[in-house]
Amino acid sequence: MNATFADAPVRLRTTALAKSYEAKNGPTPVIADLTFEVREAEIACIVGPSGIGKTTLLKCLTGLQSITSGDALIDGKPIDGPPEEMALVFQEYTRSLMPWLTVTRNVRLPLKHLRLPTAEREMRISSALEAVGLKGAESKYPWQLSGGMQQRVAIARAIAYRPEVLVMDEPFASVDAQTRFELEDLCLRIRKDFGMTIVVVTHDIDEAVYLSDRVVVLGERPARVTKTIDIDFGGPRDQITTRSLPAFAELRAEILELIRAAG
Ligand code: ADP
């Protein structure tokens, strides 16, 4: 286990999680047996071949879908609906932002039901927008912003909510390479500044190695955890130096090999 997180409490735990979808000829198992944990302030990436069940797993973890058997727990409590402690960021930012609301009002939206004092709520919004580099864009509408900036709004909205766990499904898949690097570094900063636990589904192996303290590799059909790999580069990460480390190349090759074998 990564030494930095060895003593941190477990935020998210799945034990023998299984999921079947109902089909005409009976239940079709998609996930057979997933057991893994994510500790406080860890970044965990879920990787695996296309169609293996990554999105299905996220839907189970976020309570959008029921599990068929096994357990999914947040802070030791069963997840049986969308947990208040969680926020979700999707790949499709165009569908997650309200085009008729300004940036500030999009970020404010999920805060309404927290019933915060107005000053606290507005402070959260402005510090979240500052954290994602959107100061000055408060009164713009989503359609006036680039794709990368729209995804920053979605991330700011999640940060302002201050979830314990931030779950992201292919969050940077629809932006250009440079923006992708910036958003990955933003993710590392959010974890550091807010102590958030972050779970990311990605099909980009390099992204998984760069971001993760823990990579959960899914394989076989129905899905199981093929391997959980702890990653510790021994210091802060940087897009150029970290990606040039021999350990980075070794980890990438190991994960790629596992996914190829599973595909
Ligand atoms: P991934 O995200 O790894 O690409 P998914 O979780 O999207 O995989 O899908 C895993 C499998 O489950 C696929 O075979 C897919 O067709 C099936 N599947 C996904 N959603 C449903 C659903 N709502 N009903 C039935 N089958 C589904």
Query: From the CB of 132, is ligand 1 less than 6 Å away?
Result: no
Q: What is the DSSP letter of 234?
A: S
Token look-up 């910036």 returns 182
Query: From the CB of 51, is ligand 1 less than 6 Å away?
Result: yes
Q: Residue with the nearest Cα to atom 5 of ligand 1?
A: 53
Q: State the DSSP string of 2-61.
A: -GGGTTSPEEEEEEEEEEEEEETTEEEEEEEEEEEEEETT-EEEEE-STTSSHHHHHHHH
What integer pLDDT is reported at residue 181 of this predicted model?
Answer: 94
What integer pLDDT is reported at residue 4 of this predicted model?
Answer: 67
For the chain, report the end-to-end CA distance as a whole number of angstroms: 27
- Structural domains of the chain, ranges and CATH numbers in brackets: 3-85+165-262 (3.40.50.300), 90-162 (no CATH)
What integer pLDDT is reported at residue 92 of this predicted model?
Answer: 80
pLDDT in tens, 51-78: 999 999 999 999 999 999 999 999 999 9
pLDDT in tens, 204-243: 999 999 999 999 999 999 999 999 999 999 999 999 999 9
Q: What is the DSSP letter of 207?
A: H
CA of 53 to the centre of ligand 1 (A): 6
CA of 48 to the centre of ligand 1 (A): 13
Q: Residue with the nearest Cα to atom 23 of ligand 1?
A: 21
CA of 38 to the centre of ligand 1 (A): 23
What integer pLDDT is reported at residue 1 of this predicted model?
Answer: 57
| Strand intervals (E) in the chain | 10-23, 26-39, 43-47, 69-74, 77-78, 86-89, 165-169, 197-201, 214-219, 223-230
Token pair recorded at residue 197: 């636990």
What integer pLDDT is reported at residue 3 of this predicted model?
Answer: 63
- Which DSSP helix (H) or strand (E) runs through 63? none
Query: From the CB of 126, is ligand 1 less than 6 Å away?
Result: no
Q: What is the DSSP letter of 223?
A: E
Q: Which amino acid makes up residue 56?
A: T
- Which DSSP helix (H) or strand (E) runs through 162? none
Token pair recorded at residue 155: 């991330």
The rounded distance, in Å, linking the Cα atoms of 261 and 227 is 12
Query: From the CB of 171, is ligand 1 less than 6 Å away?
Result: no
Beta bridge partners of 72: 14
pTM of the model: 0.94
- Counting DSSP H helices and E strands in the chain, the numbers are 9, 10
State which ligand 1 atom lies nearest to the alpha carbon of 53: 6
Q: What stretches in the chain show pLDDT beneath 50? A: none
